Structure 1
Amino acid sequence: MSLAVTPRPVQDAGRRFRASRRTGSVLAAIAAVIVFACSVFPVYWMVNTSFQPNAQVRGSELHFWPDNATIENYTNVIFDHARAPFLPALGNSVAVTLLSVAVSLVFAFFAALAVTRFRFKSRAGFIVTILIIQMIPAEAMIISTFRLMDSWHLLNSVIGLTAVYVATVLPFTIWTLRGFVNGVPAELEEAAMIDGLSRSQAFWRITFPLLAPGLVATGVFGFIQAWNEFMFALVLNPRPEAMTLPVWLRTFLDPNGGVVWAEVMAGSTLVAVPVIIFFLIVQGRMTSGLVAGAVKG
């Protein structure tokens, strides 16, 4: 009885291949750690600075840890009456963002369905128009938008700013959802209709759950754009009681140069906290939606 022996050159080649794979994995891990550190460090530095006294922040010595930690910066930011109040700005941002995301998703969802599932005469022109609108910079429409909102008496209002945000977010939202709807075969609805479901029942029971990850991903984009938008909010809602958080944060900048950087970082941290909470909620739902869609598909 003879035993097969693997030739030595083949063994050496296998060892070299495994060694190269391990080296590649180590280098990839090191690169990932570097990218993660570069991404997280600015956020850490913002939070770290927000807990330091302003005199320590303006000093020449770097403090990578808040040695003399204080919450005075946060109390000044929230309760100082010398500048625009924080809580109304927070309420305005939350209201405008949630309304913009909800309205944009509803209109974009039905528009994406119409473009994908139906064939009509101006379909190609509609798609091309969406692409052209996305190429126009928002700053080019500030004057016309201001005059339009002023004629409708919607300046310094949540409704007016929401309408502008919806018009800004809607083209990209339609285009994004169109890709998700395209990825769900229409044959699934047809099979459900053969089994006895109506068209609407087949859509809501079969197609809509598969589109949930796309709705979440598109909602994330709308949330980011509406929450962080500055230019339209500055022009359309300049009054202190109508400010959103990005415009409110601008009130910390003193034209004479006397900027309290510790309070600026505290205000920036407060602006970032709702975004972090939103992503923590959405991340789990997006992952579960993707898994559910893969199983149902």
Structure 2
Amino acid sequence: MSTMRSVTVRRTAWCVVAVVISLVWVFPVYWMISSSLLPNTVLQSFVPTFFPTNGSLRNYSNALADGSFYSALRMSLSITLVAVVGCLLFAFLGALAISRFRFRGRTSFVLAVLLVQMLPAEGLFIAQYKMVSSVGQLNSVLGISIIYMAAVIPFTVWMLSGFVAGVPIELEEAGQIDGLSRSGAFLRITLPLLAPGLVASGVYAFLQCWNEFTVALVLLPDSAAHTLPLWLRAFVQASATRETDWGMVMAASTLVAIPVIVFFLLVQGRLTSGLVAGAVKG
């Protein structure tokens, strides 16, 4: 009885610690949403307001009234979609090559992928700008999407190669024994098992492309081609005639975060549903 009681106390203590850590993690998000419902005069007060009892959606309506928001939203969605799809395609092929085949130069390829991750992004800005500018792709979806793919693919290859290596090749061989072709065994057995890895890699690529600021600042100088992070900067910058409206900044930040939340809610089921899919012969 005493042993069970000690286990219960220990479990309760860990649950309390987990709840406290979760509250610390959630508080900045709550503060952003709470501040987005308050006017700037309240936010500038020395007395903090933890509960927006008299809040309103005026900051959101003001942020959405900015016509550049919708163009920035379209730009961000277009760039992210192209970059994520291209990244998953090329990274998936690279991961298959590393995990399934033994070829000359394989070790050099793996080392090259690792070394690319060590290069500081800031050191590539000038070369990237000249390269994109030389082909006339400044302020374009394609130009910056290629740069995003080049930055995200190396780490995505490492992520996917672990998932691919974790699927036994014997499953494909068993499918071939049952009459499937090599490509058919891969598509019907192995690929469904790799769905969690593809989703996890897609989430990583999505977050990197959606929240990226510095490369977009260099390659998208035209205000009409700005993405949401660049659009959000306009709310933070104060001018000589207008002070920063932090309520609108928080509302705009919440609007920028909503697509990320929606995307994760749409794909989170695949993180678990693909774990056993394809492993049972129908």
> Is the CA contact 1:52–1:67 (under 8 Å) kept in the aligned structure 2?
no
One-letter amino acid of the structure 1 residue matched with residue 83 of structure 2: S
> Is the CA contact 2:193–2:276 (under 8 Å) kept in the aligned structure 1?
no
> Is the CA contact 2:213–2:230 (under 8 Å) kept in the aligned structure 1?
yes
Distance 1:289 1:190 in 2: 20
Which of 211, 236, 260 is equivalent to 2:219?
236
Distance 1:273 1:291 in 2: 31
Greater Cα offset, 193-202 or 64-73: 64-73
2:145 is the alignment partner of 1:162 = yes
Q: What is the deviation of 1:294? A: 6.8
Distance 1:282 1:160 in 2: 27
One-letter amino acid of the structure 2 residue matched with residue 114 of structure 1: A
Distance 2:276 2:262 in 1: 22
Distance 2:268 2:4 in 1: 35
> Is the CA contact 2:39–2:247 (under 8 Å) kept in the aligned structure 1?
yes
One-letter amino acid of the structure 2 residue matched with residue 117 of structure 1: R
Distance 1:73 1:293 in 2: 48
2:96 is the alignment partner of 1:113 = yes
Q: What is the deviation of 1:23? A: 1.5
One-letter amino acid of the structure 1 residue matched with residue 42 of structure 2: Q
> Is the CA contact 1:53–1:68 (under 8 Å) kept in the aligned structure 2?
no
2:35 is the alignment partner of 1:49 = yes
2:271 is the alignment partner of 1:274 = no
One-letter amino acid of the structure 1 residue matched with residue 65 of structure 2: F
Match of 1:18 in 2: 4
Listed as ranges, the matches of 1:50-199 within 5 Å are: 50-80=36-66, 85-199=68-182
> Is the CA contact 2:195–2:270 (under 8 Å) kept in the aligned structure 1?
no
Deviations 1:243-272 (A, max 9, x none): 111111111123448211000000000001
Match of 2:186 in 1: 203
Root-mean-square deviation (CA), in Å?
1.5
How many percent identity over aligned positions?
51
2:25 is the alignment partner of 1:39 = yes
Q: What is the deviation of 1:17? A: 2.1
Q: What is the deviation of 1:62? A: 1.6
> Is the CA contact 1:93–1:245 (under 8 Å) kept in the aligned structure 2?
yes
Match of 1:10 in 2: none
Segments of structure 2 that go 5 or more residues without pairing to the other structure are: none
When normalised by structure 2's length, the TM-score is 0.95
> Is the CA contact 2:189–2:279 (under 8 Å) kept in the aligned structure 1?
no
Kindly tell me the number of residue pairs found equivalent between the two proteins.
279
Deviations 1:204-260 (A, max 9, x none): 011111111110111010011001111101111122211111111111123448211
Distance 1:248 1:263 in 2: 12
One-letter amino acid of the structure 2 residue matched with residue 268 of structure 1: S
One-letter amino acid of the structure 2 residue matched with residue 190 of structure 1: E
Distance 2:205 2:14 in 1: 32
One-letter amino acid of the structure 1 residue matched with residue 55 of structure 2: A
Q: What is the deviation of 1:292? A: 3.0
Q: 1:64 to 1:294 in 2, by over 3 A?
A: farther
Q: 1:289 to 1:58 in 2, by over 3 A?
A: same
Greater Cα offset, 65-74 or 45-54: 65-74
Match of 1:9 in 2: none
> Is the CA contact 1:149–1:160 (under 8 Å) kept in the aligned structure 2?
yes
One-letter amino acid of the structure 2 residue matched with residue 200 of structure 1: S
SS in 1 for 2:194: helix
Distance 2:39 2:104 in 1: 65
Q: 1:62 to 1:293 in 2, by over 3 A?
A: farther
2:235 is the alignment partner of 1:252 = yes
Distance 1:187 1:32 in 2: 40
2:271 is the alignment partner of 1:286 = yes
